[in-house]
Structure 1
């Protein structure tokens, strides 16, 4: 569903796992910081709202969205991090640089998740213009940071389900 038809801050929370003991890294791109700071605040506030302790959240800043993959790997390799949330914003603009960056970041984050077997969440906005970015960073379409945090929580719940399943 296109995000213009969905509020990114509305989701089913009926079966969220207890994450009070879990630890999260939130990585934030400094490029388009007016947008990425709002994404960070949404992710942080959502984690706190659903039981994560403030001292169980570590923040890492990267220069741009392209650097999210390597930073995610560094944090995902830490034993004390259960999930990584990567936040960025690459605006289309007049060039195709966003096509290359977005593809590289999506593939890179997928690879980190597969390599570490930890949830690594793609919280990168890929809008056509600044207004679309703002609309998805706490504006009329909600906050992608909220959605990224809920996704991380749900994936940790699924991970627990998968690894605790026993044949009887």
Structure 2
């Protein structure tokens, strides 16, 4: 019988009030035989490497095998969608975790990039019926990014990895 999920009301908190590395680990599926693609943007690499390291560590901590986690790099966050699609096309890949960081600048480029990436990754997930996780930081400043890449607010990479694990339960 399929597992039932309940929709319980939860208190919504901004990441400024929540540690991204603290999450529920109830009812996690066995992912020892699952393969994960970690797609990482090189732009803002101090941040994205820290996020990727957090995601990798969390996957291993919750049962993924080292040889089942592959990393591919792309130039920037905009390119995450194409790489996610290429990974999703591979039958052996069970979930894709996309890691990026688009910092607000003097122009509105971040709005266009963030929107395109979010919509693109959603489209890839639905098209290939696989979890494609949005692990992209969208901070106003570099300090906010660092705070969410292993700093005072934890690591968004941890959260992205546990999201991938949980989504494999569906």
* TM-score (norm: length of structure 1): 0.93
Q: 2:151 corresponds to which residue? A: 139
**RMSD of aligned alpha carbons:** 0.5
* TM-score (norm: length of structure 2): 0.92
Runs of 5+ consecutive residues of structure 2 not aligned to the other structure: 1-12
1:14 and 2:22 are equivalent in the alignment: no
Structure 1 or 2: larger helix share?
A: 1
Match of 1:96 among 83, 105, 108: 108
Find the aligned partners of 1:128 and 1:71 in 2 and give their Cα distance: 25
1:52 and 2:64 are equivalent in the alignment: yes
Q: 1:162 corresponds to which residue? A: none
1:106 and 2:118 are equivalent in the alignment: yes
1:119 and 2:125 are equivalent in the alignment: no
SS at match of 1:34: helix
Runs of 4+, deviation exceeding 6 Å: none
Aligned 1:29-48 pairs, distance under 5 A: 29-48=41-60
Runs of 5+ consecutive residues of structure 1 not aligned to the other structure: 160-168
Aligned residues: 158
Find the aligned partners of 1:139 and 1:15 in 2 and give their Cα distance: 28
